[in-house]
Structure 1
Amino acid sequence: MGAKDKRGKKGNAAVYTTRNQAVRMLQVRLPEFRRLCILKGIHPREPKKKKHGHNKTYYHVKDIKWLLHEPLLGKFRDIKAYDKKIVKAKAKKTYELAKKLLDRKPGYTLDHIVKERYPTFIDALRDLDDPLTMVNLFAVLPGETRHNIDSKVVQKSKQLALEFQAYVVRSHALRKVFASVKGLYYQAEVMGQTITWLVPHERSQTMPDDVDYKVMLTFLEFYQTMLEFINFKLYHDMGFKYPPLVQGELSNLANALPEIMDAMSGGRKTVNSDAKSNSRNAEGASTAGPRDSEVERSALEGDAKECAEVFKGLVFFVGRENPLESLVFLIKAFGGVVGWDGEGSPFSVECPDVTHQVIDRPKVANPLSSREYIQPQWVLDCVNNRFLIPTTEYGPGKKPPPHLSPFVDNEAEGYTPEYAEMLKRLKAASTPSEHKTEEIPVEGTMPELGPSDVETKADLEDQYTKEVELEAAGVTHSEVLKKGGLERALEAVQQKKQGTEPQRKRKSAVSEEKAVDLSEIMMSRKSQRLYGSIQKGKRAKEAKVESLKQKREMLRGKK
């Protein structure tokens, strides 16, 4: 008989450990342990058998042993010991020494963790959705001491978000946008990877007290370092210097995006307030800058080329009541020139080159016949459909058409809204048809047939197809002669088919139902539950489509 295994050496007891045991093993405080797990990407586990109780948080033992070799662990201990020196200096009322110690407080970097978690650049791009959303969220939050949100953190988040937006504008990588209650959803395609992120609306944000801002700030700390790596790589591939040098703080985000793009190009445009120079500023306010020809050629291929020409040649002026930052980003990303009512605009509202004025008011005070007056939704719908939609339904004071989500696949859902069908027809009518080139005859080819030869050949082919159909139906040559020729015999065969076709359909439907019932009987219980849930989902989807169609018919009846 073999030796008895010791308790805790095998099974779940040896594979998993509780959070308290992990904290004692690492010899750190609980907040430091949480921060370390967030930075390293270690998550709690759910073992099948919880040896120490169901109210405990479990971690994998291998993950905790891996943390023992983390260099940040020593940094946290050094910072903890240094904080004790500062507290001791304040207790002795040596405030000058405490101030010197605060200025020389040691720090740490997260560069090695980013390289460790993302070995390749494509891996980092695939995981960019959450970092961009978090950075854009903190870019609109106020700096508060009550929640330990430093103003420098907010300023850095604004800088990183605008740097990524400037790259998206330069490469014309933006593909979709959707305005929802939560904010604006953007989707861009960067190096073949689809990136979707959320930007909050441009309003004052409320700070709820039931949110753990320390955890969010820890995530933000890692995401900022990760986004710096990504922006550096993207700028380096396009041949630009990173970070772009911008003078002053980025207080006005709409003005900051053109500033960053000018800094990418290496120059800075001067804004003239004189009315005579408005036309010249509008012509020179394009998004294109001096770029390498190879980079430009690779950037404008496929969808990027199509997106860059949506607003090409159009000059927009955005009123102060509109969401300025998002509209500037969208118009520049799709090839347009934009000015706004405020500081830093390249031209004023009196500029004669303005073709479209974005206004969100019921009336226009002094309308000009040389420009179109549109609501902000027109810009978003044109971006999603990639062509200029007629502006008649988007005028000031009018109820705009429904804002359809570009993230919904109408064919997969089984229902296409009426406005989406109309937009498809408009786009098909607006796209120019491709003219076929005339084929040049080559020596040695067959000569062209004359009109009589073509008619004879067509008649022979028609007669041959009819004979094949009659032969397949089992009609002999003598029966064809009795019925008075090919035409009458073919009509008789088709009438016979039409009479038997409904019976065949009914029989096939009954046989299919029987086959489904038999196959369902032969299934296991697990397969039956899975099949039942699939059928339930299909029925719910069909019911939803039917209700949408009924609503459409009701709305048509009211009109």
Structure 2
Amino acid sequence: MAKIKKKGTSGQAKNYITRTQAVRKLQISLPDFRRLCIFKGIYPREPRSKKKAAKNSTPNTTFYYTKDIQYLLHEPLLRKFREQKALSKKIARSLGRGEVGDAARLEKNLAPKLSLDHIIKERYPTFVDALRDLDDCLSLLFLFASLPSTTSVPPKTIARCQRLCHEFQHYLITTHSLRKSFLSIKGIYYQATIQGQDILWLVPYRFVQKVNGDVDYRIMATFVEFYTTLLGFVNYRLYTSIGLVYPPRFDSASDERGAELAAFKLESKNVGQLKALEQPTTNGSQPSNEVSKEIQEKVDEVVKSAGLDQGTDNQVAEDQTTNEYAIDKFEPAAPEADMLPQPDGSESEAGSLFSSFTFFISREAPKAPLEFLLRSFGCKRIAWDEVAGEGAFTNDENDPRITHQIVDRPPLPESALPAVPENTSGDSGRLRRGGRIPGRTYVQPQWVWDCVNEGKLLRPDIYAPGATLPPHLSPWVKATRGGYDPRASLADQEEEGEAERAEEVEDSESEDDAEDAKNTGEDEDVEVDEDEESEMEDDHGMDVDGSEESDSNEEENDDFDGFDDAAEVASESEDEDETLRSQHQKELEAEAAGLPFSGSANGSSAKKSSSKNKKYQAQKRKEEEELERQKMMMSRKKRKLLDKMLYSNKKKDEEAQKLRSKRRKIENAAKSKV
């Protein structure tokens, strides 16, 4: 006879454990249990049958894996939590006795310090694992770096988050690892590539943040405590991998004066080795692989005298320089084929995009993200006003070395500009507020983001102050065939006859609105007549025999679908007769008034548009009928799959059509204004 199994000793009842049972087993409080689960990366699970897992009839229960809770029994942080609980009891006892000094001494000297180093090593055995989990870490730390200090968010936490984020930004600037950025409603998205791993994070805009009471900042503070430890490990590894000293030198005084990134000074570990390598080339003899200047000059003279330097050598040199670091571009074999993903530019190209320019950031432009982007893509000289803080290349807006100025306000007319200051001190180069310096390029901030995403310098005149900017699209969303593309013209995206059909719909809507407006004045009279008729019916009305039969006959006629073609032909002929009569009447009225009549052209155009619309509807009906015939030959599984595909494609087409109609209305309104 087989052994009888005891209930609750196998299956889901053994594999899962409730949160209450887990807290009792670990002998800690519920907040400490939450902290421990966040540190260790343990989260609730959903069993297939809650009734079997709970061993009772209470469905609303949080479950964990039993093995995970068993793994937590050997965690060293449990001892720290218990020590902290014992210390809190001693402090409460001292405060109850009125011994405030003893309570402060206990809190200062005996408070246990939590170390999460061993947890970081357990959760991320390799450095690539830590880089893959860096997206949420950076988003949360950049968020806390922009929050105001409150009781729930202490200033020490904010300062630590700011320092770690600036250190990470300095690594991206040094290695030119930043690839793309996007301005969205939520904030600014950044993407960097570090050791082959794409890291995407979100940085909020620098507005005044309101700390609401709806958010549980205790749980978020636990995540911040873990992520600060993680980012500290990552920054140390990144800095040491490129030969920099970590942590970098930090000037707190300049940081208080608004220096931000300029408050950090990077130092290299191999400075002595670099100097030793440079000394033989500068002070000592030349290396054997280099040619002396005298020999090179003699060779150049011989080549010029022989005429060998014309054409071929220059072409070979140009081909070598252009093709040595050129990136292959994959082009589709057919015009309707899918676009292959193009490779990104190298670090040298990304590091030299803005290297030859000197930028001046105006006071109204966002300095922090612009400085980070410009420095990440090679710009060494960035200037701004003294109000924005320290660390600028220069604070003089009239500096002739400035080539580009980022302005985020429209240009003012000459009448609105202040008067030119009198030249009393001999300062001839002083500029009045709102003026323009000749020879300098003025652009809006979006030009920097679009150049970064495109990987090349775009035309600055399109981004001039006050100009209508081109659409700022996400670099991670690729244009699909049949979808709406804001950069392309409407003529390239519209279907055949789509604009004409949209105009017909708009005209019909406008006519309906006009008729409604005309009928509003007649509604009162109609209501009075209806009231009188109802009174007459109440006084003298009689039911006519056969009225029910007539109603049933009407319903039968509505249900009957036969003779569609004949009905359509009759309706079309009636419509044509009505249009001819109205056109003839308008001609007579215009002739009597002595005015020219242009209704024939309108009537012909209306006939053409209506005929095109009817042809489009007929063609669409034929395509649907053909598709239904093809679906009849498919199996049920393939038919359902095809229906899902058609439904999703129809939704996408409708969304694209709505966006095109909105753009068409905007363009028509702009043309009418002009």
TM-score bracket relative to the smaller structure: 0.7 to 0.9
Find the aligned partners of 1:50 and 1:226 in 2 and give their Cα distance: 36
| Matching of residue 114 in structure 1 with residue 120 in structure 2 | yes
Q: SS where residue 418 of structure 1 aligns?
A: coil
| Matching of residue 518 in structure 1 with residue 633 in structure 2 | yes
Deviation string 1:178-216 (CA, Å, 9 cap, x unpaired) is: 111211111111111111100010111011111111010
Partner of 1:19: 19
Find the aligned partners of 2:94 and 2:194 in 1 and give their Cα distance: 51
| Matching of residue 128 in structure 1 with residue 134 in structure 2 | yes
| Matching of residue 82 in structure 1 with residue 87 in structure 2 | yes
Find the aligned partners of 1:419 and 1:334 in 2 and give their Cα distance: 28
Aligned residue runs from structure 1 range 111-260, under 5 A:
111-145=117-151, 147=152, 149-248=153-252, 251=255, 255-260=259-264
Task: Give the deviation of 1:392 after TM superposition.
Answer: 1.8
Q: SS where residue 2 of structure 2 aligns?
A: coil
Deviation string 1:274-328 (CA, Å, 9 cap, x unpaired) is: xxxxxxxxxxxxxxx99x99xxxx9xx9432221121121111111211111010
Q: SS where residue 120 of structure 2 aligns?
A: helix
Task: Give the deviation of 1:418 after TM superposition.
Answer: 2.2
Of residues 450, 453, 469, the one that matches 1:400 is 469
Find the aligned partners of 2:436 and 2:257 in 1 and give their Cα distance: 29
Find the aligned partners of 2:463 and 2:659 in 1 and give their Cα distance: 24
Structure 1 contact 320–340 (Cα < 8 Å) conserved: yes
Partner of 2:525: none
Partner of 2:66: 61
Find the aligned partners of 1:411 and 1:532 in 2 and give their Cα distance: 21
Find the aligned partners of 1:517 and 1:161 in 2 and give their Cα distance: 61
Task: Give the deviation of 1:394 after TM superposition.
Answer: 2.0
User: Compared with structure 1, are the counterparts of its residues 154 and 253 closer, same or farther at alpha carbon in structure 2 (3 Å cutoff)?
Assistant: farther
Structure 2 contact 470–487 (Cα < 8 Å) conserved: no
Q: SS where residue 112 of structure 2 aligns?
A: coil
Of residues 471, 480, 486, the one that matches 1:411 is 480
Counterpart of 1:126 in structure 2: which amino acid? R
Q: SS where residue 468 of structure 2 aligns?
A: coil
Find the aligned partners of 2:257 and 2:135 in 1 and give their Cα distance: 21
Structure 1 contact 246–263 (Cα < 8 Å) conserved: no
Q: SS where residue 249 of structure 2 aligns?
A: coil
| Matching of residue 537 in structure 1 with residue 580 in structure 2 | no
Counterpart of 1:46 in structure 2: which amino acid? E
User: Compared with structure 1, are the counterparts of its residues 75 and 532 closer, same or farther at alpha carbon in structure 2 (3 Å cutoff)?
Assistant: farther
Structure 2 contact 243–268 (Cα < 8 Å) conserved: no
Find the aligned partners of 2:258 and 2:175 in 1 and give their Cα distance: 19
Deviation string 1:32-53 (CA, Å, 9 cap, x unpaired) is: 0011111111111111111332
Partner of 1:390: 459
Q: SS where residue 48 of structure 2 aligns?
A: coil
Q: SS where residue 474 of structure 2 aligns?
A: coil
Task: Give the deviation of 1:542 after TM superposition.
Answer: 2.5
User: Compared with structure 1, are the counterparts of its residues 94 and 386 closer, same or farther at alpha carbon in structure 2 (3 Å cutoff)?
Assistant: same
Structure 1 contact 402–419 (Cα < 8 Å) conserved: no
Structure 1 contact 253–325 (Cα < 8 Å) conserved: no
Could you tell which deviates more after superposition, 81-90 or 10-19? 81-90
Structure 1 contact 155–250 (Cα < 8 Å) conserved: no
User: Compared with structure 1, are the counterparts of its residues 412 and 330 closer, same or farther at alpha carbon in structure 2 (3 Å cutoff)?
Assistant: farther
Of residues 95, 103, 110, the one that matches 1:98 is 103
Normalised TM-score (structure 2): 0.61
Find the aligned partners of 2:662 and 2:370 in 1 and give their Cα distance: 33
CA RMSD of aligned residues (A): 2.9
Q: SS where residue 118 of structure 2 aligns?
A: helix
Counterpart of 1:306 in structure 2: which amino acid? E
User: Compared with structure 1, are the counterparts of its residues 338 and 40 closer, same or farther at alpha carbon in structure 2 (3 Å cutoff)?
Assistant: same
Of residues 334, 338, 344, the one that matches 2:382 is 338
Between the aligned residues of both structures, percent identity stands at 42
Find the aligned partners of 2:150 and 2:254 in 1 and give their Cα distance: 18
Find the aligned partners of 1:331 and 1:70 in 2 and give their Cα distance: 46
Could you tell which deviates more after superposition, 376-385 or 230-239? 376-385
Deviation string 1:69-116 (CA, Å, 9 cap, x unpaired) is: 111111111111122222222222333322222222121111111111
Unmatched segments (≥5 aa) in structure 1: 267-288, 422-506
Find the aligned partners of 1:390 and 1:176 in 2 and give their Cα distance: 19
Task: Give the deviation of 1:405 after TM superposition.
Answer: 1.5
Q: SS where residue 411 of structure 1 aligns?
A: coil
Q: SS where residue 410 of structure 1 aligns?
A: coil
Q: SS where residue 316 of structure 1 aligns?
A: strand
**Higher Cα radius of gyration:** 2
Of residues 347, 359, 368, the one that matches 1:304 is 347
| Matching of residue 367 in structure 1 with residue 436 in structure 2 | yes
Unmatched segments (≥5 aa) in structure 2: 279-324, 326-343, 412-432, 491-621
Partner of 1:329: 372
Partner of 2:657: 546
Find the aligned partners of 2:488 and 2:257 in 1 and give their Cα distance: 34
Q: SS where residue 47 of structure 1 aligns?
A: coil
Task: Give the deviation of 1:127 after TM superposition.
Answer: 1.0
Find the aligned partners of 2:145 and 2:254 in 1 and give their Cα distance: 10
